[in-house]
Amino acid sequence: MTRLIRRRVPDHLSCRQVAKVLQTHLDGELDDETASAVAEHLEMCRRCGLEAATYIELKEALARRAAPVPTASLERLRSFVAELDAHGAE
Ligand SMILES: [Zn+2]
């Protein structure tokens, strides 16, 4: 792909143009003009809207997984349970 995204965007983006900037858009890093053109497209285009929803879900899932359960906590929990097994029940 050698075509670059131009600073000035047409009123109506193609699905391919939207796909190229979708992640940037969802990260909130597009300029206002492009962002609103993308938002408009996502509202009108079911396919791209679905794609955007998938990205958002993925991002949220990753964020959720990164935050509350770090590996260290899992390890601690595991050894805690192992200790209970060893010393708990007769
Ligand atoms: Zn589309």
pLDDT value of residue 69: 60
DSSP string, 24-68: HHHTT-S-HHHHHHHHHHHHH-HHHHHHHHHHHHHHHHHHHHHTT
pTM of the entire structure?
Answer: 0.56
pLDDT value of residue 78: 81
Spatial contact of 22 and 55, defined as CB atoms under 8 Å apart: yes
Residue 19 Cα to ligand 1 midpoint, Å, equals 8
- H/E element holding 11? none
Spatial contact of 18 and 48, defined as CB atoms under 8 Å apart: yes
pLDDT value of residue 48: 95
Residue 58 Cα to ligand 1 midpoint, Å, equals 19
Residues of the chain with pLDDT under 70: 1-11, 66-70, 88-90
Residue 50 Cα to ligand 1 midpoint, Å, equals 9
Residue 35 Cα to ligand 1 midpoint, Å, equals 14
Residue 3 Cα to ligand 1 midpoint, Å, equals 18
